Structure 1
Amino acid sequence: MKKVCVLVVMSLVVMTTAFAQDQDQVRDRDRLMLVDGDVLQIRDRDQIRLKDKATLADGTILSADGYIQIRDRDRLRLNDGECIDPEGVRYRNEYHYRFKMHKNNQGLTQAQIQARSQNRFHYVYIDGEVIKVLNQSQNKIEKQVRLGDGTTVNPDGSYVRARDQDQARLRDGE
């Protein structure tokens, strides 16, 4: 009986630990987003909750609770959905971050864009937590893409939902 109780307690501890680890990291998130008239396929390699403070290139210190300490300035709190890149540049939301990256990539070949996006990351403040998002790739789509639910998305941003054949168009940031 004693061994059974110990076994049950140990299995609960292992399950709790495994669940907590799953909560800290999300892998391989794919999505499409319309940015400045182009539909981008964005693949994020990892999304990790920030546990400790992070020091950015400009000396800004980012806390896990969303507060930033800018050099020789007061502490500020990021707004929900606000992003900050490793250089300390703040963006109103992820769309504005992606828009800036898209503008920086103009004039580059697809291979150059892929190389630049490979190890890019940014932080986003969502629901009281800071999440570090590591990019795997960001590509402009050149042909139709069919999503898991049957929806078809075209390179111009128009899409048709499979369930009701309703046609619509993405707006910037969607």
Structure 2
Amino acid sequence: MPTSLRKALIAAVAGAAVIGGSLAYGVSAHAEEAAAEPASLVEDFSYPGAAKIEADKKIKLIKGDGRIMLAECGSANDLIQVESYNNLSEPVYCFKVLGSTGLLALEIPNVYFIWAGDEKVTATVTVGGVQKEPVVVAANDGEPVGAEDPKNHAVLLELRV
């Protein structure tokens, strides 16, 4: 093989290797960039800040549609109020309804009374670990819950407006 042809062949192979390497690097770089991008956001309806609320207030706010939110008691006149022996330093938990409907899954132990705001509220409660018929609280009214259990093992599981 003549020297000039050999040099041309070597140059072509070397060029192809560089081009192939660049191409492989480019594909690799794009794969790394894609892996570094955050996964797509999918709403799971988890309650924001739930771990801190549980630590501070001793209640679990699990998930909902965002239309029933924990609120400062006394911050409005139309709040849902849940009375509990759970935390004697804070015996009432208040919730603001941000629409005509709402849903919040939660766990508040030792509940004994629920006051509705301006909307009718339906509450799901267990007493002694047994789920009871939903408690319906008329707008601007209140209903006792867990009264049949002398040790008050009533747990509020859901509020629905």
Query: Shorter-chain TM-score: which interval?
Result: under 0.3
Which structure exhibits the higher relative contact order, with contacts defined as CA atoms closer than 8 Å and separated by 6 or more residues?
A: 1
TM-score (norm 1): 0.24
